[in-house]
Amino acid sequence: MSDATVSLSIDGMDVTVPKGTMLIEAAKQAGVVVPHYCYHPSLPSPAVCRMCLVEVEKLPKMVPACVTTAGEGQVVHVHSPAAKKAREGVLEFLLINHPLDCPICDQAGECELQDFVFQEGQAGTRYADYPKRFNPVEDFGHDVLYIPNRCILCTRCVRFMDHVAEESVLTVSERGDRATISIDPAHRLDHQWAGNVVDLCPVGSLVSKDFLHKARAWDLDKTASVCPGCTQGCNIMVDTRDEVVVRLRPRPNLEVNRHFICDTGRADYRWMNRGDRLEEAAVRGEQGLEGTAWESTLERVAALVAEGEGAVTVLLGGRVSTESIGWILRLLSGRRVTAAMRVPLGDEVPLAGMANLALRAERAANLHGAQLLGAGADWHAAVASAPDTDLVILVDAPLSDTELAVVARAGAVVQLSTVAEPGLENTAVLAPITSMVEEQGVFINRDGRAQRFLPARTPPGMARPAWWVAANAWALADEARTAPATASEALAALPALDGLTHAQLGFTGRVIAPVAAGGVR
Amino acid sequence: MTEHATPTEPVFTTERKARLEALATRYPTRQALLLPALWMAQQAHGWISPEAIEEIATELELTPAYVRGVLTFYTMYHTHPVGRHFIQVCTTSPCNMCGAEDVVAALLDHTGCGDLGATSPDGRFTVIEVECLGACAFVTPILINDDFIESVTPDTVADLLARYP
């Protein structure tokens, strides 16, 4: 026993936790999930749901695990008959007025009420003779719908708005069985981070209008990813149904975004399902751009790189992976290269209650990866330099009309694109690449944290990751060269990353290079 | 007795503001003044309007949402306009057995309210049923505003109401 830790027994498992740890968190360490509704690790605990009552030996009454600190030598029973009976009672109360409309509820399949009732609830009801109270559906805000009949009044949404968003517009109105969550009539739930109340809601009471009736939870494939919206690099889960991305949800990472993402990031998934994707490689021949196989495409890229002596400009989109940037630059080693990333700017939207969490002004996920690898040149200067270069490599960067006119004056353009830029007459090679939801890769966020994203859907047509195109073109130049076979090998081979593999990053990433925060030059 | 100003007038006039600040010295926080502040608003306007909620929230450094939460929790604050005279009739078991229903019917009839909870067309009365008023030996007790009146029968209702113009 040390001063900083306490040891206790939870359901027969001995655990040692830091002093001040709540029983509910200590139980997680013992591998025991204490059923709960109002408790959430990123919110203050009011202990209102009474679901997490556990039995502690030598205490006369059961205690709520979410507000009881673990004590030395405690013997805690989460699954004792008394604790189970207490939860059964709570669940019975919660179900008195719950409509049990799971077949039409968006939350079904990921609903904590469903889960816990299934595990420990009663099969029947003792209240069959009484009508359930009914309240109409309310429109809370631009993406949030409130269905009061399903509400179990855990108040997570109220506490999120009070303590995290710090815009207190929600409250519990009325009392007893008439109680509902209500919104201040003078306001809407249009805070830029308000969408998180939908994730926080343990039942289907607060639902997203955008996702309403789109898919059943059990039909979704969930892929760990990183939000491509800004330099914050919030961890997300990409939910796909039959290869179509239907929603983005936050994935907990206590170092980056805790349990939250902003509404801008949440809504930014439609581009992932674009129907006008480039599916076939093409090189310029006598008939203009002619469709061809990868071999001849790679040969043409290698030839374009090898034959010239002059400067090369690389124009990167904000969602290009670290692997791709690194290998495109390696392909061009020996040439005079100006590489820049397009960084759209917006307003910075912080989440008041969380330190170092905001929708950042620089809306490019891998800006700091680009800077680390030497692709941090000024975008406008890089575009302006295009007419003086032999070769422009355009990597999934959208161009404005004026920028297009400038780039059209370059010697030749190699487009590594998800969607072709048809306006460029000087395109020599058009290569279809995967977008960040179709490949594995790494973004480096504003704090120098390398975080990986995984493929969530099948790439269309011939599309390959941009690093694969660059690395294989690079390998063609010399027989001694071998292109990396995986994204992890591609990352490890980059000198700036010093052998870092994807496995070392895990699911929450790792700070590899503290970068001075902010800064688009 | 209700003072009855129009709801658009501010609650915290100089005089009421002084009363509120005098009360403030009795409580540890301004938040704790919420219930007395709501009473003041109700006494001033007869009910607590959204404007009054805003004003109280500003006065006590709370959010309007929080004020609403507290306001709706309690049944004796009115969130809708009521008649000048607010009549509460006890209809709990002992009163009920001794004829409280008839008193209610007589009150609804004489005031012209028609329905429980509705306000008479002249804006004079609102009648509601309440649970035990604690005067079971003096059926039927009713409350008109803050006046506690015992042993009301259907026959005495008309005279009684005449005292509340």
In a domain? residue B49: yes
Tell me, what's the pLDDT at B1?
Answer: 40
pLDDT at position A128 = 86
B67 and B108 assigned to the same domain = no
Q: Is residue A314 part of a domain?
A: yes
Question: What 3-state DSSP class applies to A122?
Answer: coil
- Is A463 among the domain residues? yes
Per residue, the 3-state secondary structure of A223-265, as one string, reads EEEECCCCCCCCEEEEEEECCEEEEEEECCECCCCECCCCHHH
End residue of a domain, out of A23, A48, A79: A79
Q: For residue A135, how many C-alpha atoms fall within 13 Å in the half-sphere facing its CB?
A: 19
Within a domain: A416: yes
pLDDT at B10: 87
Domain encompassing residue B42: 14-73
How many distinct structural domains can be found in chain B? 2
Interface of chain B toward chain A, CB-CB under 8 angstroms: 50, 54, 63-66, 68-69, 72-73
Domain end marker among A60, A79, A98: A79
Residue by residue, pLDDT tens for chain A (521 residues) are 567 999 999 999 999 999 999 999 999 999 999 999 999 999 999 999 999 999 999 999 999 999 999 999 999 999 999 999 999 999 999 999 999 999 999 999 999 999 999 999 988 889 888 899 999 999 999 899 999 999 999 999 999 999 999 999 999 999 998 999 999 998 999 999 999 999 999 999 999 999 999 999 999 999 999 999 999 999 999 999 999 999 999 999 999 999 999 999 999 999 999 999 999 999 999 999 999 999 999 999 999 999 888 899 999 999 999 999 999 999 999 899 999 999 999 999 999 999 999 999 999 999 999 999 999 999 999 999 999 999 999 999 999 999 999 999 999 999 999 999 988 999 999 999 999 999 999 999 999 999 999 999 999 999 999 999 999 999 999 999 999 999 999 999 999 998 999 999 999 999 987 654 444 33
Which chain B residue has its CA at the smallest distance from A161's CA? B65
Amino acid A123: pLDDT: 87
Instruction: Quote the pLDDT of residue A244.
Output: 96
Q: Which of B48, B73, B98 is the last residue of a domain?
A: B73
Express each pLDDT in B47-94 by its tens digit: 999 999 999 999 999 999 999 999 999 999 999 999 999 999 999 999
The alpha-carbon gap from A185 to the nearest alpha carbon of chain B, in Å, equals 8
**Amino acid at residue number B156:** T
Residue B60 sits in the same domain as residue B116:
no
Q: What is the ipTM of this complex?
A: 0.83
Residue B141's Cα: distance from chain center in Å? Answer: 16
Residue from B73, B74, B131 whose CB has the most chain A CBs within 10 Å, to mutate: B73
Cβ pair A168:B54 closer than 8 A: no
Q: Do B68 and A175 touch (CB under 8 A)?
A: no
Task: Note whether residue A477 is domain-resident.
Answer: yes
Q: How far is A221 from B132, CA to CA, in rounded Å? A: 58
The reported pLDDT for the residue numbered A443 is: 97
Structural domain contains residue B2: no
Strands across the sheet with A336-341, in order?
A288-292, A281-285, A427-432, A412-417, A391-395, A311-316, A336-341
Report the CATH number at residue B49.
1.10.10.1590
Assign residue B138 the CATH number of its domain.
3.40.30.10
Burial readout A276-315 (b: 16 or more C-beta within 10 A, e: otherwise): ebbebbbbbeeeebeebeeeebbbbbbbbbeeeeebbbbb
Q: Which of B45, B73, B101 is the endpoint of a domain?
A: B73
Domain count, chain A: 2
Any idea how long chain A is? Answer: 521
B107 falls within a domain: yes
pTM score of the predicted model: 0.91
| pLDDT 10s digits, A438-465 | 999 999 999 999 999 999 999 999 999 9
Indicate whether B78 belongs to any domain: no
Domain membership of residue A202 (yes or no) is no
Domain span including residue A56: 5-79
User: Is A507 part of any domain?
Assistant: yes
Tokens 């694109």 correspond to: A417
Give B107 to chain A, closest Cα distance, Å. Answer: 28
Question: Are the Cβ atoms of B66 and A174 closer than 8 angstroms?
Answer: no
Q: Confirm whether B154 is domain-assigned.
A: yes
Q: Any idea what the CATH number is for the domain that residue A56 is in?
A: 3.10.20.740
Q: Which of A29, A52, A79 is at the close of a domain?
A: A79
